[in-house]
Structure 1
Amino acid sequence: MLLDTPICDFGWPAPNFTLSDPNGNAFTMSDHLGDNGLLVMFICNHCPYVKTIGHRLAADTKTLMSEGVNVLAVMSNDYRDYAADSPENMLKTAAEYGWEFPYLVDEDQSVGKAYGAVCTPDFFGFNADGGLQYRGRLDDGTMGQPNATTPELLNAMRMVAKTGHGPKQQTPSMGCSIKWSR
């Protein structure tokens, strides 16, 4: 089911969390709030929207990380019902697209719920103080295609890094619904 995310609630405080990657390495969100901000993404392996942007996501996040913006990705889907999203498949998907950011398992889905994540992909851009400044999409609506004219996420996070504030105009992200456990 295709869903759109809500508009950005500027200044909303990032809920802290500690999650592990599929290898058992723990990452705490507050440890990744750097001087240039933090991007928290809700993604998964099987979503066609995420698959469409997979390589572009790798390139844009690599650029952001090289510019001092930290990045964490969270997989909140119930992988017991959606085996394609299992931790083992998370490792394969990350390798396939060349993702260099930590890709974390939200085992009990508490982080997805605390953030109000709606779909995959769902992007949350925070400033150095942990205030939400971006909740939009990767690009201008072409879902990561090479002819995308406006890299919204990249430009927004660069603005957050430079000024501490995100753009006032944001296009809500869209994608597949998060697969909540029953």
Structure 2
Amino acid sequence: MFLHRLYKLAFLSVAFAMASTAFAEPVVDKPAPAFVGTAADGSNIKLDDLRGKTVVLEWTNHECPFVVKHYESGNIPDLQKDAVAKGIVWLQVITSAPDKQGFVSGETAKKLNEVRGATPTNTVLDQDGKIGKLYGATNTPQFFIINPEGVLVYKGGIDSIPSTSQSDIPKAENYVKAALADLAAGKKVAKSSTKPYGCSVKYAS
């Protein structure tokens, strides 16, 4: 009986460790997890190659109503346009597995951005979920901001009001906009970790 319980505890410990590793969360003020991803245009995107630039990672799912809120209102497209104009690298990341909500081909991802007036630097197709799990991505939309030294300086939600209503956008505190403003001013990001809200990331498992 004792051995049975011991084996069970050992199994649960290993299972928990595996789960923790698979969805390990990066730590603010520590180096951002390195990755190589496939872009919508078929090219490879390597985070290490972007050293020297501020990088925004935006987890997205065009069928999620929380994402729709921020795209139909122009909120995220405006953030993208402003950031890219300042030399910031803005990467959408789509971690929807095949046959899951939000899964798209590279061509469809590009067309969606054209229709929505979105101007990210590129879109990463993370169909196997490796990058999502590396960053502990749980929601769409969800954001991670990396400074030019490759250090994670922000992780969390887009703003302070978790709703699908566009009317809430002007009333909300935009965490992403504030974090980028702090970086541009040479300041430490005041709110470096916030709670994301939205749809769950559609991993295969």
Gaps of 5+ in 2: 1-24
Q: Secondary structure at the match of 1:46?
A: coil
1:83, distance to aligned residue in structure 2 (A): 5.9
Is 1:141 aligned to residue 158 of structure 2?
no
1:169, distance to aligned residue in structure 2 (A): 6.3
8 Å contact 2:26–2:33 — kept in the other structure?
no
The alignment yields a C-alpha RMSD, in angstroms, of 2.5
1:110, distance to aligned residue in structure 2 (A): 0.6
1:149, distance to aligned residue in structure 2 (A): 4.7
Q: Secondary structure at the match of 2:185?
A: helix
8 Å contact 1:139–1:153 — kept in the other structure?
yes
8 Å contact 1:124–1:136 — kept in the other structure?
yes
8 Å contact 2:179–2:191 — kept in the other structure?
no
Q: After the TM superposition, which of the residue ranges 162-171 and 68-77 deviates more from structure 2?
A: 162-171
Instruction: Name the structure 1 match of 2:184.
Output: 161
Q: Greater helix share, 1 or 2?
A: 2
Gaps of 5+ in 1: 1-6
Q: Distance in 2 between matches of 1:26 and 1:164?
A: 32
Relative contact order: is structure 1 or structure 2 higher (C-alpha 8 Å, sep ≥ 6)?
1
Instruction: Name the structure 2 match of 1:40.
Output: 57
Q: TM-score, normalised by structure 2?
A: 0.74
Q: Secondary structure at the match of 2:56?
A: strand
Q: Percent identity?
A: 25
Aligned to 1:31, which of 49, 52, 59? 49
1:27, distance to aligned residue in structure 2 (A): 1.8
Rg larger in structure: 2
Instruction: Name the structure 1 match of 2:115.
Output: 96
Q: TM-score, normalised by structure 1?
A: 0.83
Q: Secondary structure at the match of 1:154?
A: helix
Aligned to 1:22, which of 35, 40, 60? 40
